[in-house]
Amino acid sequence: MKRALEGLPGATSARVSLGQERAIVDYDPRALSIARMLEAIRGTVVLPAVRRAIQRTSRPRSGRQPR
């Protein structure tokens, strides 16, 4: 997850604690959105708290609920 976040344009660093289910990212909000960060970690190991955050911020396409 750390590599996925740090590899995004606009991100300068990321600190991830799997035990605390937390990620702290230093980034330029003009170049990178929270929604983009959540999308980047979707393909990594996703913790339950992160999955809930993705579901809250994602908008379903065609009226479907996010998975």
pTM for the model stands at 0.60
The token pair that represents 23 in the structure block: 């990620």
Find residue 23's DSSP bridge partners: 16
Find residue 41's DSSP bridge partners: none
- Give the SS3 label for residue 2: helix
**Residue 11 pLDDT level (bands cut at 50, 70, 90):** very high
Does the pLDDT at position 40 exceed 60? yes
Residue 20 amino acid letter: Q
Please give the distance of CA 51 from its chain centroid, rounded to a whole number.
Answer: 9
Which CATH fold would you assign to the domain 2-57? Alpha-Beta Plaits (3.30.70)
